[in-house]
Structure 1
Amino acid sequence: MVSPAPYALIFDMDGVLIDNTPYQAKAFQLLFRDLGLTTNARQLLRRLNGMPATNIFKTVFRHPVPDKQLKEYSSQRELLYRVLYWDKRRETPGLSAFLRAARTAGFKIGLGTSSPPETISYIIDHLDLRQYFDVVVGKEDVDKGKPHAETFVVVAQKLGVPPERCVVFEDAILGEQAAYKAKMRCIGVSSGLKPEEFQAPLRVIKDFRDITPEQVRELLEQNPPVPKPSKEMAKREYMKL
């Protein structure tokens, strides 16, 4: 008898491995101010967090902006964010202990983020977290960022684990939608959202002291169906602010 594939844990980075959303928002807000935009960055990220920055910028202009300019804005925002967050880099409470326990329990572990390689390194190498991940997938590894499913699909393929045996840890509505599009279940991390703002996660945690790998396995072994992505929620998230 062939033994089943292992279960896999797939993590988003921002708002999951680290609680950095306030600093991301402040960096956006400073740049918006310089560009003469009145968009509220905190409200913007509540809706669009998880998307590549260039795509987020597309939603705040009423006129078309060339891709080259959007990339320049994204680079400026990234510099502002790094300066603001430089001395604040801390892992989400309980993360390392959870990851060590998950490895011991036989889980495959992957990272799936919309960030570019240098931003991934800025976080996971500074915090010495790369050692826990079997696979790291970022912006450069996919054609379509979240809420498209590709990021999580590629992580699962590289891990060699079928989607029905994967669970995604996400803090963002659009990231949760990406998980469901990838035919995976999701555990919400409420770093920036209230528990009721998620669509249908297996569970919502505040940080990684709230759950153990054994509890994750129990949730997966109950084999609940993967929710259908909510077109209504996704549409609402893309609305102009």
Structure 2
Amino acid sequence: MKALIFDLNGTMIDDMLYHTNAWKDIMNNQLGGNFTFEQVKQNMYGKNSEVLIRMFGEGYFTDEQITELSFEKERLYQQAFLPELKLLPGLTGFIEKAYRNNIPMAIASAAIPFNIDFVLDNLNIRKYFSAIVSADHVKISKPHPETFLKAAGLLGVSSADCLVFEDVPKGAEAAFNAQMQCVILTTTHQPDEFAHLPNILNFSSDYTSAYLQGLLK
């Protein structure tokens, strides 16, 4: 293990409930949908544009409408989540120890920079990450491997030397497609939902687990 690559939402912070609620609010109350929480939750991966297309169909929105809806959703999410914004238990010490051990770290997320900046700057943790890959930096989002491969390239390490931290099956699948091992944070999905993926090393509810604490001895 020469580098650590973190997904952001649901992996570093436990915020997927807030994302799902923000999308559900917009889809049902503004766009006239009738989606359940579970329907929205199962489609919460990839870029915002992909989420909207997945739920409403190709060509339903113009590019301008998608951009406007995306930022409206993020504003709703940030307003609701800001009072609860904090890293998962144990993560502060984990990234500090990796930083002191000169292990390069990256964030590789389907979030737009607006949301990544919201987390990094409010929590003052930007210094720990040598590379950031957002939705704006890739053509094809997870489960395509581009997000993680670009992060590895920016860190200057091979795929085989990267350990990915994820919380959703499509993200873990992207790690598998990038030929990277993966640790799952069970904030959003349960272990049985990852049974089809052979690259999962561990399931942990947060970063205080003995397995994760033992990684950086």
**TM-score when scaled to structure 1?**
0.82
Contact 1:49/1:172, CA 8 A, preserved across alignment:
no
Would you say the 8 A contact 1:156–1:166 is kept in 2?
A: yes
> Equivalent residue for 1:55?
50
What's the counterpart of residue 180 of structure 2?
184
Amino acid corresponding to residue 214 of structure 2 in structure 1: Q
**Which stretch shifts more, 170-179 or 64-73?**
64-73
Give 1:103 shift: 2.2
Kindly indicate whether the alpha-carbon contact (under 8 Å) linking 1:12 and 1:170 is maintained by their aligned counterparts in 2.
yes
How far residue 146 of structure 1 moved from its aligned partner, in angstroms, is 1.5
1:175 deviation in Å? 0.6
Q: What SS class does the counterpart of residue 203 from structure 1 fall into?
A: strand
Task: Name the % identity.
Answer: 29
| Aligned residue in 2 for 1:22 | 17
* Aligned counterparts, 1:103-142, within 5 A: 103-142=99-138
The answer to whether the 8 Å contact 1:58/1:70 transfers is no
State the alpha-carbon separation in 2 of the partners of residues 137 and 63 from structure 1.
26
Q: Quote the Cα distance in structure 2 between the aligned partners of 1:51 and 1:63.
A: 15
CA distance 1:193–1:75, change in 2 (3 Å): same
| 2:205 alignment partner in structure 1 | 206
Counterpart of 2:214? 215
1:15 match: secondary structure = coil
Structure 2: tracts of 5 or more residues without a match: none
The letter for the 1-side match of 2:151 is V
* Aligned-residue RMSD, C-alpha: 1.9
Cα displacement (A) at 1:62: 4.5
Q: Deviations over 1:173-207 (max 9, x none)?
A: 11111111111111111000112212331111100
Q: Structure 1 residues 27, 190: closer, same or farther in 2, change over 3 A?
A: same
Using structure 2 for the length normalisation, give the TM-score.
Answer: 0.90
1:172 pairs with one of 162, 165, 168: 168
| Alignment partner of 1:71 is 2:67 | yes
1:74 Cα deviation from its structure 2 partner: 1.4
Q: Provide closer, same or farther for how the CA distance between residues 213 and 26 of structure 1 changes in structure 2, counting only shifts above 3 A.
A: closer
Deviations 1:72-131 (A, max 9, x none): 221221111111112111111111100111223342211101112221110111011112
